[in-house]
Chain A
Amino acid sequence: MATAEIAVDRAALFEFLTRMGDNTLILGHRVSEWCGHAPVLEEDIALANTALDLIGQTQLWLGLAGEVEGKGRNADALAFLRDAAAFRNCLLVERPNGDFGQTLMRQFLFDAWHHVMLTALTKSEDPRVAEIAAKAVKEAAYHLERSSDLVIRLGDGTDESHARMQRALDDMWSYVGELFIADDADRAVAEAGIAPDPASLKPEWEAIVSEVLREATLKAPTSAYVHKGGRRGVHTEHLGYILADMQFLQRAYPGATW
């Protein structure tokens, strides 16, 4: 299948694709850490299925990233053999799981962005990007529906669950902002019509979040401080621990298969 190459810097496109794939990879890994530990069986299964969707999407994004890069690296090589500084996920997805409420709040804030982003990407000028987005957006819609539902139920729940959800929101809030800040790579793919300008996603994200928070009786923090760096490879200490766990097998036994 011949695909018309769009005039865009290959490095910028690779950067964009690893940002998409690393977000889903790291969040997928984080969520999978709950497997066998969730408060109730149904939620345990739901978390595992969400993780599975995210890891599946990772294979598509990182698979394409490897193709675009053209150095013979496939999705597995990119996932298992890069060091922390080469990862391009936002800091939000590497936040520790905390309690169930924190995991859900992180998921909700991400899902709202993810759904808006994927919806925009279905109109990408690059058909390879558009077809992955068209596939993933249907899954992300279910993720958003579930996390919105639970944020509302727990936020507008008991005093204890409300307090925990408010604390989770306060903790996670400052890690979302970097998703809306453009750099040169973002501008290059936006100009080529491959992806939207990150800032353009904010109004819709805010509309979803403010509505769900209102139903959940939760208050968005007013602080404008933004933690950033993940998207250019400057991570918190948490990513190193995730990678140590996730990459151990391939690092210790290179090329191991089963």
Chain B
Amino acid sequence: MATATLPSLDEVWHWLSQVPDPEIPVLSLVDLGIVREVAWDDDTLVVTVTPTYSGCPATGIINLDIERELNARGVAKVRLERRLSPPWTTDWMSAEGREKLRAYGIAPPVDDTAADGRSLALARRLASGSNLTVACPRCGSAQTEKVSQFGSTACKASYRCLSCLEPFDYFKCI
């Protein structure tokens, strides 16, 4: 493709916005906010990706999916780069992505509620038995309780709705 014109970066972003996350397929990699940058280095497309959690087992699959998608779109040379800093945060999840999560049955992150390791606040919170309010993605009730800090994947916690009684995943703020 030496003489062909390279696809525009807007086009590349659009393609990537159609690549689903392997574990939460209603979200695209762009919705999730893990594609940090796309750029041309001569005729090589450089895609910079940040991991969600350090040990996320989907990282390898995500890289493969990106490469496969771009190859299928006619980009022959793709280079994936990992960027750790700044670390991924759920703040980067698009509004559209959050709505897709809710519709899928996963409560989206409640901003500014990430664990911060401050023990005083923690002990008080535990002593008072209160917790952050996570609305049930099925019935919308705010009467829910945390079952476990970690749900089906590291990025989610397990919750239970006290109104409709359904268990559900909550995408933790980080």
Residues of chain A having any CB pair with chain B under 8 Å: 42-43, 45-46, 49-57, 59-60, 112, 115, 119, 127, 130-132, 134-142, 144-146, 148-149, 152, 207-208, 211-212, 215
Contacts and interface: CB of A to CB of B under 8 A. Distances in A.
Contacts of B154: 49, 52-53, 139
A134 B150 contact: no
A128 to B, nearest CB: 9
Interface string B128-168: 00000000000000000001111111100010000000000
Contacts, number: 109
Closest 3 interchain pairs by CB? A56-B55, A56-B54, A141-B115
A60 B55 CA distance: 10
A141 B154 CA distance: 13
B150 A46 contact: yes
Nearest to B174: A138
B54 A215 contact: no
Contacts of B53: 52-53, 56, 139
30 contacts: A42-B148, A49-B150, A49-B154, A52-B57, A56-B51, A56-B55, A59-B54, A115-B117, A134-B84, A134-B86, A135-B88, A136-B54, A138-B87, A138-B89, A139-B174, A140-B117, A141-B115, A141-B116, A142-B174, A145-B117, A145-B122, A146-B149, A146-B150, A148-B126, A149-B126, A208-B119, A211-B123, A212-B119, A212-B123, A215-B123
B120 to A, nearest CB: 7
Contacts of B174: 138-139, 142
A142 B119 contact: no
Given A46-B148, A49-B154, A53-B53, A132 B84 contact: yes
A208 B89 CA distance: 25
A215 B117 contact: no
B1 interface: no
Interface residues of B, number: 33
A144 B126 CA distance: 13
B120 A211 contact: yes
A127 B83 CA distance: 13
B149 A46 contact: yes
B127 interface: yes
Nearest to A150: B149
B98 interface: no
Contacts of B147: 42
A76 to B, nearest CB: 14
A144 B119 CA distance: 9
Given A42-B147, A134-B85, A215-B123, A142 B54 contact: no
Interface string B57-84: 1000000000000000000000000001
B84 A142 contact: no
B114 interface: yes
Nearest to B172: A142
Contacts of B152: 45
Contacts of A54: 55
Contacts of A215: 123, 126-127
B127 A142 contact: no
Given A119-B117, A131-B84, A134-B86, A145 B127 contact: no
Contacts of B158: 42, 45
Contacts of B9: none
B55 A142 contact: no
A52 B154 CA distance: 8
Nearest to B158: A42
B56 interface: yes
A145 B149 contact: yes
Contacts of A139: 53-54, 154, 174
Most A CB within 10 A of own CB, among B89, B122, B151: B122
A139 B55 CA distance: 10
Contacts of A53: 53-55, 154
Interface string B28-62: 00000000000000000000000101111100000
Given A131-B84, A135-B87, A138-B87, A152 B55 contact: no
